[in-house]
């Protein structure tokens, strides 16, 4: 059998989506990848604060006391976000959207002079959310990772595809099975270091890309002396995304504690020229 790998690229969530499907029929692979893209467009329409009429936009626009009924995908993404907040001990908090907008000097929304932390109540049985205090939700910290989980679900359950590599902007990665040669997929952390990846998610963060956009949600401030790059390896795309950002803020000792408690793995590169330190079991 000829060894071949099909690659598909799309633009989604303001970045590039790269899908690799090896050793299957080309048309089948094309249809499967496009199905992922179409379904993720729907997810983006639900969870993006920048999409008019999205669940998140409607929540952000509500007055205090207002209630919004949200879709199941939005609810699941929010639950992942709140779980990330618990794991990170408050370093990650998607209800700090106004702080993120101010740090980014965002021009899509009116200028924010004094950012506020939103507060919301959930009716899990009926998918209802009530705004309790003014503020905005921004799911940007976990959106791409959450989308990766949907890709895995679609390819596995709807298309019975067992081998796949997906990269979302190079910072959110998922790999399952093997490549076209039957070898483990590899993720490159540097020119000299690559790691095998199978049925796992990776989130990557760094000052070169995010810089001052990173906020410590415990105090609403941009941290000083952040490392050059961090990586988080977990069983969840959303959590990997969130933890890679949290690892930019937390101390190595705090990261080790989280990795031990939740069986995660992490890696930190303090400067462009320094060695990569691995935390947890990789």
Domain boundary among 139, 163, 179: 139
Domain boundary among 107, 139, 171: 139
Residue 101 parent element (H or E):
helix 97-103
CATH number at residue 265: 3.10.520.10
CB 84, CB 142: distance < 8 Å: yes
Predicted local distance difference test score (pLDDT) of residue 121: 96
Predicted local distance difference test score (pLDDT) of residue 209: 61
Residues 55 and 125 in one domain: yes
Count of domains observed in the chain: 2
Residue 216's SS3 state is: strand
Radius of gyration of the chain (CA): 19
- The Cα–Cα gap between 208 and 260 comes to 28
Residues 169 and 213 in one domain: yes
Predicted local distance difference test score (pLDDT) of residue 113: 87
- The Cα–Cα gap between 60 and 55 comes to 9
Residues 187 and 250 in one domain: yes
Predicted local distance difference test score (pLDDT) of residue 83: 97
Residues 128 and 65 in one domain: yes
Residue 12 is part of which domain span? 5-40+143-280
| CA atoms within 13 Å, Cβ hemisphere of 193 | 12
- The Cα–Cα gap between 11 and 246 comes to 26
Predicted local distance difference test score (pLDDT) of residue 103: 87
Predicted local distance difference test score (pLDDT) of residue 211: 54
Residues 90 and 166 in one domain: no
Predicted local distance difference test score (pLDDT) of residue 1: 54
Residues 147 and 134 in one domain: no
Residues 126 and 147 in one domain: no
Predicted local distance difference test score (pLDDT) of residue 146: 98
Scored b (16 or more CB within 10 A) or e, 26-45 reads eeebeebbeebbebbeebbb
Predicted local distance difference test score (pLDDT) of residue 148: 97
Burial class of 144 by CB neighbour count within 10 A (0 to 12, 13 to 18, 19+): buried
Residues 118 and 160 in one domain: no
Residues 215 and 96 in one domain: no
Predicted local distance difference test score (pLDDT) of residue 130: 98
Residues 254 and 167 in one domain: yes
Domain boundary among 139, 158, 189: 139
Residues 92 and 120 in one domain: yes
What separation in angstroms does the CA of 195 have from each of 148, 155, 198, 202, 244?
A: 19, 24, 10, 11, 17
Predicted local distance difference test score (pLDDT) of residue 210: 56
Averages of pLDDT over runs of 10 residues in the chain (282 residues) are 88 96 97 98 97 97 98 97 97 96 87 93 95 96 96 98 96 97 94 91 85 84 92 98 97 96 96 92 69
Tokens 């803020």 identify what position? 249
Residues 260 and 244 in one domain: yes
């Amino acid at each position: 059998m000829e060894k071949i790998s099909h690659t598909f690229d799309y633009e989604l969530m303001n970045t590039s989506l790269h899908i690799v499907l090896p050793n299957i029929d080309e048309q089948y692979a094309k249809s499967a990848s496009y199905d992922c893209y179409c379904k993720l467009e729907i997810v983006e329409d639900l969870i993006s604060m920048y999409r008019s009429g999205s669940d998140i936009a409607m929540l952000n626009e509500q007055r205090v006391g207002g209630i919004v009924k949200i879709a199941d995908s939005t609810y699941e993404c929010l639950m992942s976000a709140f779980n990330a907040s618990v794991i990170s001990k408050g370093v990650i908090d998607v209800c700090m959207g106004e702080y993120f907008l101010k740090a980014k000097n965002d021009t899509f929304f009116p200028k924010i002079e004094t950012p506020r932390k939103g507060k919301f109540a959930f009716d899990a049985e009926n998918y209802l959310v009530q705004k309790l205090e003014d503020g905005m939700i921004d799911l940007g910290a976990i959106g791409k990772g959450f989308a990766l989980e949907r890709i895995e679900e679609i390819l596995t359950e709807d298309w019975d595809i067992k081998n796949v590599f997906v990269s979302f902007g190079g910072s959110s990665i998922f790999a399952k099975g093997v490549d076209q040669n039957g070898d483990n997929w590899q993720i490159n952390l540097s020119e000299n270091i690559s790691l095998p990846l199978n049925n796992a998610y990776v989130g990557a963060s760094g000052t070169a890309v995010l810089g001052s956009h990173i906020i410590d949600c415990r105090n609403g401030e941009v941290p000083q002396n952040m490392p050059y790059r961090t990586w988080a390896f977990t069983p969840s795309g959303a959590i990997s995304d969130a933890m890679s950002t949290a690892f930019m803020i937390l101390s190595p000792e705090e990261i080790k504690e989280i990795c031990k408690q939740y069986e995660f793995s992490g890696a930190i590169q303090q400067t462009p020229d320094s060695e990569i330190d691995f935390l947890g079991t990789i």
